[in-house]
Amino acid sequence: MKRTLGALFATATLLATAGCGSSSSTVDGPAGPTAGPITGAHVLPLISVTGGGGTTSTSATLLDTKAHIRAFTAQFRPPTMAGRVNAAVKQAASSGQLVYGAVVAVGCDRPPGAVVSLDANGDVQITPEEVASPLQECLVPVTTVALASVPGSD
């Protein structure tokens, strides 16, 4: 019963936050935004921390300044999560691409991966892949962050 209520709450949370994108997360191509997968985008290895905190959302946050990274990592309880996100963003940004991040899961399961795409408004979305065998219960939820490197618009 707790698992069902948790899944219902997570679904309601995702639906409630799905429209809360930021115009700063828009990536335009030569002809403007087009919904669907982003050509050349790459999801980095997922970062998971037990008891990390945070709020799930498929709307990605552009992590292009120290202030944006600080604002994004402020939602996490342990400093290890912020440190791991900072290190991954720094490494990914060295490639010259834009880096986006989203908390893709808070719960018993760690998704196997994530997919980066544009929604109909041209906002970057990072969606977790489905877990094949979800756990029935856990003692402490695991927070999973997905970072994606995305080609910038010219």
- The domain limits of the chain are 2-150
Half-sphere CA count of 110, side-chain side, radius 13 A = 15
Per-residue confidence band for 146, with pLDDT thresholds at 50, 70 and 90: very high
Rounded mean pLDDT, 58-80: 95
Per-residue confidence band for 22, with pLDDT thresholds at 50, 70 and 90: very low
Rounded mean pLDDT, 31-36: 68
Q: Is the pLDDT of residue 5 over 90?
A: no
Rounded mean pLDDT, 123-142: 90
The mean pLDDT of the chain is 82
Per-residue confidence band for 67, with pLDDT thresholds at 50, 70 and 90: very high
Name 99's Cβ contacts closer than 8 Å, sequence gap at least 6. 62, 63, 64, 89, 92, 93, 147, 148, 149, 150
> What pLDDT does 10 receive?
40
Q: ∠102-145-48 over CA atoms, to 5°? A: 170
Cβ–Cβ under 8 Å, residues 139 and 132: no
> What pLDDT does 148 receive?
97
What percentage of the chain has pLDDT greater than the value 70? Answer: 77
Q: Is the pLDDT of residue 150 over 60?
A: yes
Name 11's Cβ contacts closer than 8 Å, sequence gap at least 6. none
